[in-house]
Chain A
Amino acid sequence: MFALGLTGILVRRNVIFVLMSIEVMLNAAGLAFVAAGAKWGQADGQVVFLFILAMAAAEVSVGLALVLQIYRRWQNLDADALSRMRG
């Protein structure tokens, strides 16, 4: 239920918002894993959540560096124009 409500939100706004939406989606997936692991009393769900956490950290660092690069290259553009050239 939670993941479904959050996965449909990726199509939003500018690049920063897209990155934040990706964060939320990864979080929802991790929540599903941990909930499943808690349901059957296994630790595997938490292990997979740790992997998701590491992947999210890596993705965010590279993504934010890319955002900075985009912003520096087209400096006189505001966030809306930035989101338009995202496609």
Chain B
Amino acid sequence: METAFYIAAAVAVASTVLMLTRLNAVHALLYLIVSLLSVAVVFYTLGAPFVAALEVIIYAGAIMVLFVFVVMMLNLGPPAIEQERALLNPGIWTGPAVLALILVAEVAYLLVGAGVSPVPAMVGPKRVAIVLLGPYLVGVELASLLLLAALVGAWHLGLRVAAKEEKEEISHAYDTRGARPAAGRDLVRAGTDRNPGSP
């Protein structure tokens, strides 16, 4: 159990250092995901399986999906295609893949040999729930308030982006309409403003 903890911690530190030295954001994201997964394994070896599962689900699942989505959104177009082609290059994903393989092997070893070396002082989800909803009830309510505020804030920012885009598009169409007829902008109404006599 000790060696498993140290291996996972070493993987975490290594992947984090590699993440910080990457130039490309997508490569850094790969290393960051490996880092979060290794921290989850560290939690498991520390005897906190509930928190380890939450780490994988929320951090490596939800937050990383957000990051990947935004990074992919920020460079659309031909550079993105180049990047996709570069991502298939094996030199890029071997680093995270090797680190992740170390983690997978370690988890398999832990699950197989779980009965041999019991986790020291396992704190299960039940005790966590009892403490969470007992003395920390105010904290839970505050966290829900914080999440609500974040939801409203993110929605507001996204809404402003969408409204600005709409406005820019409309003004752009208005500018071009003065110079020449906006061709193909609205397929339904195309041709209805044409003179009947013209060909």
| Residue contact A47 to B132, C-beta cutoff 8 Å | yes
Interface size class of A (residues with CB under 8 A): 35 or more
By DSSP majority rule, is chain B's interface helix, strand, loop, or mixed? helix
The answer to whether A72 and B146 touch (CB under 8 A), given A17-B25, A38-B48, is: no
Which residues of B lie under 8 Å from residue A62 when comparing CB positions? 150, 153-154, 157
Interface residue? B7 (CB, 8 A): no
Which residues of B lie under 8 Å from residue A61 when comparing CB positions? 66, 150-151, 153-154
Q: Which of A44-78 contact B (CB under 8 A)?
A: 44-47, 49-51, 53-62, 64-69, 71-72
| Residue contact B165 to A72, C-beta cutoff 8 Å | yes
| Residue contact A58 to B131, C-beta cutoff 8 Å | no
Closest residue on chain A to residue B42 by CB atoms: A31
| Residue contact A57 to B13, C-beta cutoff 8 Å | no
0 or 1 for each of B4-34: is its CB under 8 Å from A? (1 = yes): 0000010011001001100001001100100
State which of A9, A23, A51 has its C-beta within 8 Å of the C-beta of B63. A23
Q: How far is the CB of A58 from chain B (nearest CB, A)?
A: 3
Give the docked Cα–Cα distance between A67 and B67 (Å).
11
Selected interface stretch from B105-113, B121-129, B172-180: B121-129
Give the docked Cα–Cα distance between A47 and B143 (Å).
12
State which of A27, A42, A64, A66 has its C-beta within 8 Å of the C-beta of B59. A27
Give the docked Cα–Cα distance between A51 and B63 (Å).
15
Residue pairs across A and B with CB atoms within 8 Å: the count is 143
Give the docked Cα–Cα distance between A6 and B166 (Å).
41
Give the docked Cα–Cα distance between A72 and B27 (Å).
23
Which residues of A lie under 8 Å from residue B13 when comparing CB positions? 2, 5
Q: How far is the CB of B116 from chain A (nearest CB, A)?
A: 20
Give the docked Cα–Cα distance between A62 and B171 (Å).
28
0 or 1 for each of B43-71: is its CB under 8 Å from A? (1 = yes): 10011101100110011001100110011
| Residue contact A34 to B51, C-beta cutoff 8 Å | yes
Q: Which residues of A contact B (CB under 8 A)?
A: 2, 5-6, 9, 12, 16-17, 19-21, 23-24, 27, 31, 34-35, 37-38, 41-47, 49-51, 53-62, 64-69, 71-72, 79
6 further A-B contacts with Cβ under 8 Å, apart from A17-B20, A79-B25, are: A43-B123, A57-B58, A58-B147, A64-B66, A65-B158, A72-B164
Q: Which residues of B contact A (CB under 8 A)?
A: 9, 12-13, 16, 19-20, 25, 28-29, 32, 35-36, 39, 42-43, 46-48, 50-51, 54-55, 58-59, 62-63, 66-67, 70-71, 73-74, 120-121, 123, 127-128, 130-132, 136, 139, 143, 146-147, 149-151, 153-154, 157-158, 160-161, 164-165
